[in-house]
Amino acid sequence: MSKEPIRSLEEPETIRIDIMKEGAVRLQCRWDIQTEQIEGDDPHTEYVYREKVIWWAMTNPTHVQIVEGRQVITDAGRAYIAEHAEEILNYAMTAGA
């Protein structure tokens, strides 16, 4: 994680599911999300935030399925991530410190 905040023109998701591999999911975790209004010739909004990419084990077999030879997260897996978002973000913030 960079010590400098990340800047983006797109509003970030707090936790974004990226890819699955070997029963774990790579998550892009974002916090301290703020908006800044940029003035000038091209006024626009920028999002400024902290981010840490982590791997999170999906230990319940119902959270993963194989589709065309690739592991993908199931709806149950997505629900699990949503239900444990606070725990996941706390882990990511600690790992990113």
Q: Which two tokens stand for residue 12?
A: 């970030």
Residue 51: pLDDT band by 50, 70, 90 thresholds? Answer: very high
Q: Is the dihedral of CA 65, 67, 72, 75 positive or negative?
A: negative
Strands 70-73 and 24-38: unpaired
pLDDT at 97: 62
- Tens-digit pLDDT profile for residues 10-40: 999 999 999 999 999 999 999 999 999 999 8
User: What is the residue extent of each domain of the chain?
Assistant: 6-96
**Spatial separation of the C-alpha atoms in residues 68 and 83, rounded to whole Å:** 28
